[in-house]
Structure 1
Amino acid sequence: MTSRLTHRLTHRLTQTVAATLATAALLAFPASAFAAVHRPTLSEAAVSSVHTPRGALVSAVPVGQLTAAQLDAAAADFPGTPKSSYGVAAYRLIYRTVDTHGRPTTASGIVVLPDGRSGALTVTEYLHGTNATKAAAASVDDRSTDRLVTALFAGQGLVGVAPDYLGLGLGPGPHPYLDTKTETSASADLLLAARTFAANHGVAFKRDVLVTGFSQGGRASLAFGRALSRGEVGPFRLGALHAVAGPYDLLGEELPAAFDGRVIPPTATFYLAYLVTAWNRTVGLYDDPRQAFQAPYASTVEGLFDGSHTDEEIVAGLPDSPEKLFTPEFAARLQHPTGRLLRATQAADQVCQDWTPRIPVHLYSGTKDTDVAAANADSCAASLRRRGTDVTVHSMGAVDHTGTAFAAYPEIIRAYAPRA
């Protein structure tokens, strides 16, 4: 197990098809600067009328404020990040969206506004990586690095928007991990709710949306970009797409990597356990946990991913390799998917296969990434190029998963800043 996974399973810039983590250095910015001024309440997160349209704003509360100087200090672990031009104010939104069955529900997320700016502004929507703990979401965790990254975009004069996805933050129920449909709908509906909220602060959103995401969010950013390009998100369209270390090719690269050593075994165990338990709820992979998991894990693994457990607790409740977690028969299915698992995996991989972005696409990878195989970016790029897309794969060098993000986001912030 990597030292980061062993020693720092808490504050994340996030992960991917299953478990990675941030370092204490990411917490260098003043903890009090983003201190919550309002604690979540049941009434705040409550589902409103079932007839309320998707994207409707349920509630908004301030969760923190940073000066430009504080943002610059916080960005110390992202060398090369341009200096902030604005202080920022962050707000937690609760908004209407739909669940995996298309039924009304609510979700949470954040919007970060640059201080002193009004009128028409450009939005950057940031999609976070793997998170199995509700309380670690950017909308409720005062020390969330996802909140910081979103704020760094706002410090350039952009509006930062970041969904928690379903079932995280103040969202009800479990998180449907790596569920393309709801990652997209939650991202789209937050953008609509944020537009309503920003209008009350004298800010209008420009049409073109700059999209980025890390790990799980890298893959989700392709799906959200696809929805924007197809005109499925109100008046908005895709303006830019920069995706970092995403598991874009589950069937061809990431699932094989989980068993051939490219993803280290303890990390692969976390990711696969999260994926299988989540997909069993949405796709149906087994009738009884004992069909997929060995004893004693069959009786406990589903409960580990209910959103209330920390990464440390989850890791402590799992073995150190997929072969020890899954039955031999189910491990073989994961390596050679058939039936529902195959169809679900193929559908997930369509994020790089069934659309043609009309803007240049930028993908980022690291050669020492043992969470998401770097070959995912190459595979996605090849698929998009076959459809005529202009794609650049940026290798960030000999860096691991979170190191890829540390290296990539200064470049992405610098690329997006002129659009403010």
Structure 2
Amino acid sequence: MTLKNKMFSNIAQNAKPFALCAALLIAPVAGHSQAHPTTELGSGVQYELISHWSKEKLNEILKTDFPKFSGVPVNYGQANNGIKLYRVTYRSVIPERANKSIQTSGLVAIPDNAETLKNRALPVLSYQHGTVYGKNEVPSVPNESPETQLMLAQFGGQGYVVIGADYFGMGSAPEPEGYMVKASHQQASYDMLLASQSVLNHLKVNTNQLFLSERVQSLPGS
């Protein structure tokens, strides 16, 4: 074997482990993108299925996880069904900045028995989250938001469709956080309601009553 052939033979042999590593690294990424495809509905609305929480998981949140987080034991009602969680992105505007266009995010949670209830309209709970300090402690990232977990377990587990907007600057939005900025909070929640209706219509989920729930942060001495 010539020196040149020997050199190419060594390169080929050493390349095999690298090729195998590259294949192993690429495969999970491809699989992840196939697991959560994004659906575009037009007008800037997109959604993707991010998780399914079983009835057992919701009851664990109610019995153990949230009481441990809050330090307050409460006898919550039991979940009767699981839920499917969809992250939604949609277009809105910032009223305090001359209606500057923004792309922001939120969550739609649908009872996992909705498919069997096609002839029944489900109630909708629009949930406005309270004060949080982490950018991802919002509805669209439910694993990082104990408050959202409670709302999903208590209401989603009782057959409600639960929707929640991430306030501007939270979740996927790159803008500064609009903490206690009233018009922006209202705008985010209103446009999230419209976006969620597009998602629910596309998934053929019938709804009727709309309920509003807002967590109010109490100030010391109030």
- Same fold by TM-score greater than 0.5: yes
- Residue aligning to 1:339: none
- Residue aligning to 1:80: 75
Whether the 8 Å contact between 2:87 and 2:105 is mirrored in structure 1 is yes
| 1:151-230 pair list within 5 angstroms | 151-152=152-153, 153-206=155-208, 208-214=209-215, 218=216
132 and 143 in structure 1: CA distance in 2 versus 1, 3 angstrom threshold: closer
> For 2:145 and 2:210, how far apart are their aligned partners in 1?
23
- Residue aligning to 1:91: 86
Number of aligned residue pairs = 170
1:127 aligns with 2:128: yes
Whether the 8 Å contact between 1:138 and 1:145 is mirrored in structure 2 is no
> For 1:143 and 1:136, how far apart are their aligned partners in 2?
5
Superposition CA RMSD, Å: 2.3
Q: Which is strand-richer, 1 or 2?
A: 2
Q: Deviations over 1:168-197 (max 9, x none)?
A: 000121111100001001001101101110
Q: Deviations over 1:348-379 (max 9, x none)?
A: xxxxxxxxxxxxxxxxxxxxxxxx2363xxxx
> For 1:146 and 1:194, how far apart are their aligned partners in 2?
20
> For 1:209 and 1:80, how far apart are their aligned partners in 2?
25
> For 1:57 and 1:121, how far apart are their aligned partners in 2?
25
Q: State which drifts further: 172-181 or 132-141.
A: 132-141
Whether the 8 Å contact between 2:123 and 2:210 is mirrored in structure 1 is yes
Query: Which amino acid in structure 1 is aligned with residue 200 of structure 2?
Result: A
| 1:211-360 pair list within 5 angstroms | 211-214=212-215, 218=216, 246-247=217-218
Residue 144 of structure 1, CA deviation? 1.8
Percent identical across equivalent pairs?
25
Structure 1, gaps ≥5 residues long:
1-36, 39-43, 219-245, 248-371, 376-420
Whether the 8 Å contact between 1:57 and 1:197 is mirrored in structure 2 is no
1:61 aligns with 2:63: no
> For 2:221 and 2:86, how far apart are their aligned partners in 1?
34
Q: Deviations over 1:367-406 (max 9, x none)?
A: xxxxx2363xxxxxxxxxxxxxxxxxxxxxxxxxxxxxxx
> For 1:73 and 1:136, how far apart are their aligned partners in 2?
20
Greater RCO, CA 8 A, separation 6+: 2
Query: Which amino acid in structure 1 is aligned with residue 51 of structure 2?
Result: G
> For 1:193 and 1:105, how far apart are their aligned partners in 2?
14
- Residue aligning to 2:14: none
> For 2:50 and 2:166, how far apart are their aligned partners in 1?
15
Whether the 8 Å contact between 2:136 and 2:144 is mirrored in structure 1 is no
> For 1:212 and 1:58, how far apart are their aligned partners in 2?
23
63 and 147 in structure 1: CA distance in 2 versus 1, 3 angstrom threshold: farther
What TM-score does the superposition give when structure 1 sets the normalisation length?
0.38
SS of residue in 2 equivalent to 1:93: strand
Q: Deviations over 1:255-274 (max 9, x none)?
A: xxxxxxxxxxxxxxxxxxxx
What TM-score does the superposition give when structure 2 sets the normalisation length?
0.69
Residue 95 of structure 1, CA deviation? 0.7
Whether the 8 Å contact between 1:60 and 1:93 is mirrored in structure 2 is yes
- Residue aligning to 1:71: 58
Larger Rg: 2
> For 1:148 and 1:83, how far apart are their aligned partners in 2?
14
1:140 aligns with 2:141: yes
| 1:353-372 pair list within 5 angstroms | 372=219
> For 1:210 and 1:57, how far apart are their aligned partners in 2?
25
159 and 141 in structure 1: CA distance in 2 versus 1, 3 angstrom threshold: closer
Residue 141 of structure 1, CA deviation? 5.2
Runs of 4+ displaced beyond 3 Å: none
Residue 60 of structure 1, CA deviation? 0.7
Say which of 366, 369, 373 aligns to 2:220.
373
Say which of 109, 113, 120 aligns to 1:112.
109
